[in-house]
Amino acid sequence: MRIVAFILIGIGGAFSLLNWISLIGTIQTKRPTSIGFPAPSLLTALGLSLLAETHHYWWIALFTDYSLFVIPIALPRLIAGAWQTSALTRVKRLQAAGKQRRVELSFHRGGHFTLRITYKPALTCNSYGALVASIGAVGKWQGLPDGTMRLWGYWGERTLILQPADTGCISQEEHFPEGQEHSHHSLGGLEFRPIN
């Protein structure tokens, strides 16, 4: 039992340390990074509760990692985000397919949409030779009186305009970054068709 306790304490402690390093990196670079493992302090606390020497003080381990306290704060926002883009709130879906990629847009009540691009085969996406198999984003959409749809907030300042056509919509993208070596994520000039 002691071996199990020490393993739990070791794993919990290591992930707590990684989470603190991640948090410090986020503060220093002002770029968000994700936690390595949610609530590793629970593993540490469980390990301490298994040892006779620390059995009465297991609860102290709960304070060794900040993620245990962040999860309840972030949970309502995560649940709201999942609901906003769930199948239950979907209004319609559109798809554009080409030789190497499939682009899917899912529109939801409240003006939210999801974007998913799948590449087959995977494509080179940067100068280091990294491959991309799929990417996704979320954003906002608005239907205009003439049937045009405007999408924004998915990648920086980019805006996607969907003009009605005979079989679906034709896309036009504004503010796509100039001089991109890799334009695999460009959304202009695509023909979107409704899917079920």
Domain shared by 187 and 109, yes or no:
yes
Q: Characterise 175 by phi-psi region: left (phi > 0), alpha (psi -120 to 50), beta (else).
A: left
72 with 110, same domain: the answer is no
Q: Name the domain count of the chain.
A: 2
Tell whether the model's pLDDT for residue 128 goes beyond 90: no
Together in a domain, 128 and 51:
no
pLDDT > 80? residue 7: yes
Whether residues 63 and 130 fall in one domain:
no
pLDDT at 48 over 90: yes
User: Would you state the pLDDT for residue 112?
Assistant: 96
Q: Which of 42, 67, 83 is the last residue of a domain?
A: 83
Q: What percentage of the chain reaches a pLDDT higher than 70? A: 99
Q: Which residue would you say has higher pLDDT here, 22 or 119? A: 119
Please determine, for residue 181, whether its predicted confidence score (pLDDT) is greater than 80: no
HSE at residue 117, side-chain half, CA atoms within 13 A, is 20
